Amino acid sequence: MLCPQCHNNSSRVVDSRPADNGRAIRRRRECEKCGFRFTTFERIETTPLLVIKKNGAREEFNRDKILHGIMRAAEKRPVGMDKITSVVDEVEQKVRAVGGTEISSQLIGEYVMSILVDVDDVTYIRFASVYREFKDMKSFAQELQELMKRNGKDAD
Protein backbone atom coordinates (compact mmCIF):
# COMPACT_ATOMS: atom_id res chain seq x y z
CA MET A 1 0.00 0.00 0.00
CA LEU A 2 1.51 3.32 -1.07
CA CYS A 3 1.93 5.95 1.61
CA PRO A 4 -0.10 9.05 0.63
CA GLN A 5 2.64 11.24 2.17
CA CYS A 6 5.95 9.90 0.80
CA HIS A 7 4.72 7.23 -1.67
CA ASN A 8 6.77 4.51 -0.01
CA ASN A 9 5.42 1.02 -0.69
CA SER A 10 5.96 -0.37 2.80
CA SER A 11 3.45 0.11 5.61
CA ARG A 12 2.34 -1.89 8.59
CA VAL A 13 -1.18 -2.39 9.95
CA VAL A 14 -1.60 -0.70 13.34
CA ASP A 15 -5.30 -1.49 13.89
CA SER A 16 -8.05 -3.48 12.10
CA ARG A 17 -11.76 -3.48 12.75
CA PRO A 18 -15.00 -4.28 10.91
CA ALA A 19 -16.76 -1.44 9.11
CA ASP A 20 -19.96 -0.93 7.10
CA ASN A 21 -21.91 -3.52 9.11
CA GLY A 22 -19.27 -6.18 8.57
CA ARG A 23 -19.07 -5.72 4.80
CA ALA A 24 -15.66 -4.06 4.99
CA ILE A 25 -12.53 -3.97 7.13
CA ARG A 26 -11.09 -0.64 8.25
CA ARG A 27 -7.32 -0.68 8.67
CA ARG A 28 -5.10 1.97 10.24
CA ARG A 29 -1.68 1.81 8.65
CA GLU A 30 1.65 3.43 9.41
CA CYS A 31 4.32 4.09 6.79
CA GLU A 32 7.54 2.35 7.75
CA LYS A 33 9.61 5.11 6.13
CA CYS A 34 8.06 8.40 7.29
CA GLY A 35 5.69 7.24 10.08
CA PHE A 36 2.60 8.83 8.46
CA ARG A 37 -0.66 7.15 9.54
CA PHE A 38 -3.54 6.61 7.15
CA THR A 39 -6.74 4.57 6.86
CA THR A 40 -7.66 2.02 4.21
CA PHE A 41 -10.83 -0.02 3.66
CA GLU A 42 -10.95 -3.54 2.33
CA ARG A 43 -14.16 -4.74 0.65
CA ILE A 44 -15.23 -7.87 -1.16
CA GLU A 45 -14.85 -7.35 -4.87
CA THR A 46 -18.16 -7.83 -6.60
CA THR A 47 -18.81 -8.32 -10.28
CA PRO A 48 -19.27 -5.04 -12.12
CA LEU A 49 -22.85 -3.90 -12.39
CA LEU A 50 -23.86 -1.64 -15.26
CA VAL A 51 -26.62 0.93 -14.97
CA ILE A 52 -28.68 1.57 -18.08
CA LYS A 53 -29.46 5.28 -18.18
CA LYS A 54 -32.66 6.81 -19.64
CA ASN A 55 -30.80 7.69 -22.85
CA GLY A 56 -29.58 4.09 -23.25
CA ALA A 57 -26.01 4.80 -22.18
CA ARG A 58 -24.40 2.35 -19.77
CA GLU A 59 -22.14 3.20 -16.86
CA GLU A 60 -20.80 1.34 -13.88
CA PHE A 61 -22.95 1.33 -10.74
CA ASN A 62 -21.72 3.98 -8.33
CA ARG A 63 -23.23 4.11 -4.86
CA ASP A 64 -21.71 7.58 -4.35
CA LYS A 65 -24.12 8.97 -6.96
CA ILE A 66 -27.06 7.71 -4.91
CA LEU A 67 -25.47 9.04 -1.72
CA HIS A 68 -24.98 12.52 -3.19
CA GLY A 69 -28.50 12.58 -4.63
CA ILE A 70 -30.05 11.74 -1.27
CA MET A 71 -27.75 14.16 0.57
CA ARG A 72 -28.87 16.93 -1.78
CA ALA A 73 -32.54 16.06 -1.23
CA ALA A 74 -32.04 15.90 2.55
CA GLU A 75 -30.21 19.23 2.75
CA LYS A 76 -31.36 21.24 5.81
CA ARG A 77 -33.63 18.37 6.89
CA PRO A 78 -33.41 16.37 10.13
CA VAL A 79 -32.01 13.32 8.33
CA GLY A 80 -28.64 12.28 9.72
CA MET A 81 -25.74 10.95 7.73
CA ASP A 82 -26.14 7.53 9.40
CA LYS A 83 -29.71 7.30 8.09
CA ILE A 84 -28.68 8.43 4.60
CA THR A 85 -25.90 5.83 4.55
CA SER A 86 -28.30 3.10 5.67
CA VAL A 87 -30.70 4.08 2.86
CA VAL A 88 -27.86 3.82 0.33
CA ASP A 89 -26.82 0.44 1.80
CA GLU A 90 -30.40 -0.84 1.52
CA VAL A 91 -30.71 0.39 -2.07
CA GLU A 92 -27.40 -1.25 -3.00
CA GLN A 93 -28.54 -4.53 -1.42
CA LYS A 94 -31.77 -4.43 -3.45
CA VAL A 95 -29.87 -3.61 -6.65
CA ARG A 96 -27.40 -6.46 -6.15
CA ALA A 97 -30.20 -8.87 -5.16
CA VAL A 98 -31.78 -8.44 -8.60
CA GLY A 99 -28.89 -10.42 -10.02
CA GLY A 100 -27.53 -10.06 -13.49
CA THR A 101 -25.02 -7.54 -14.73
CA GLU A 102 -27.33 -4.67 -15.75
CA ILE A 103 -30.09 -2.67 -14.08
CA SER A 104 -32.04 0.37 -15.21
CA SER A 105 -31.56 3.73 -13.52
CA GLN A 106 -35.36 3.97 -13.26
CA LEU A 107 -35.49 0.87 -11.07
CA ILE A 108 -32.73 2.25 -8.85
CA GLY A 109 -34.67 5.51 -8.49
CA GLU A 110 -37.81 3.59 -7.55
CA TYR A 111 -35.85 1.68 -4.89
CA VAL A 112 -34.56 4.95 -3.44
CA MET A 113 -38.03 6.49 -3.34
CA SER A 114 -39.62 3.38 -1.82
CA ILE A 115 -37.25 3.73 1.12
CA LEU A 116 -37.17 7.54 1.36
CA VAL A 117 -40.97 7.76 1.61
CA ASP A 118 -40.68 6.27 5.12
CA VAL A 119 -37.67 8.40 6.12
CA ASP A 120 -38.72 12.02 5.54
CA ASP A 121 -41.60 13.46 3.48
CA VAL A 122 -39.74 16.56 2.28
CA THR A 123 -36.61 14.60 1.35
CA TYR A 124 -38.80 12.16 -0.57
CA ILE A 125 -40.58 14.96 -2.48
CA ARG A 126 -37.30 16.70 -3.29
CA PHE A 127 -35.78 13.47 -4.60
CA ALA A 128 -38.97 12.59 -6.51
CA SER A 129 -39.14 16.04 -8.12
CA VAL A 130 -35.70 15.55 -9.66
CA TYR A 131 -36.08 11.84 -10.40
CA ARG A 132 -39.57 12.10 -11.94
CA GLU A 133 -38.76 15.39 -13.67
CA PHE A 134 -42.04 17.10 -12.80
CA LYS A 135 -42.99 19.22 -15.81
CA ASP A 136 -45.64 21.33 -14.11
CA MET A 137 -47.37 22.11 -10.85
CA LYS A 138 -50.15 19.58 -11.56
CA SER A 139 -47.80 16.58 -11.58
CA PHE A 140 -46.08 17.90 -8.45
CA ALA A 141 -49.44 18.34 -6.70
CA GLN A 142 -50.47 14.81 -7.72
CA GLU A 143 -47.35 13.37 -6.08
CA LEU A 144 -48.05 15.39 -2.92
CA GLN A 145 -51.66 14.13 -2.81
CA GLU A 146 -50.51 10.52 -3.16
CA LEU A 147 -47.99 11.02 -0.35
CA MET A 148 -50.63 12.58 1.89
CA LYS A 149 -53.07 9.72 1.19
CA ARG A 150 -50.31 7.21 1.98
CA ASN A 151 -49.62 8.93 5.29
CA GLY A 152 -53.34 9.11 6.15
CA LYS A 153 -53.52 12.88 5.93
CA ASP A 154 -56.28 14.83 4.22
CA ALA A 155 -55.16 15.80 0.71
CA ASP A 156 -57.39 18.89 0.53
Q: What is the pLDDT of residues 68-111, one digit of tens each?
A: 999 999 999 999 999 999 999 999 999 988 888 899 999 999 99
Of 101, 106, 67, the C-alpha closest to 84 is 67
Q: Are 79 and 119 in contact (CB under 8 A)?
A: yes
- Strands (E) across the chain are located at 11-19, 24-31, 37-43, 50-52, 58-60, 102-104
- Residue-range definition of the domain harbouring residue 137: 50-150
**60, 27: one domain:** no
Q: Are residues 61 and 94 in the same domain?
A: yes
Please tell me whether the overall predicted TM-score, pTM, comes out greater than 0.85 for this model.
no
Domains identified in the chain, total number: 2
Same domain as 141, residue 64: yes
Q: Say if residue 63 is in the same domain as residue 87.
A: yes
Mark whether 22 and 76 lie in a shared domain: no
pLDDT digits (tens, 9 = 90+) for 101-153: 899 999 999 999 999 989 998 898 889 888 777 777 777 788 788 888 887 75
The answer as to whether 3 is a domain residue is: no
| Pairing of β 24-31 and β 11-19 | antiparallel
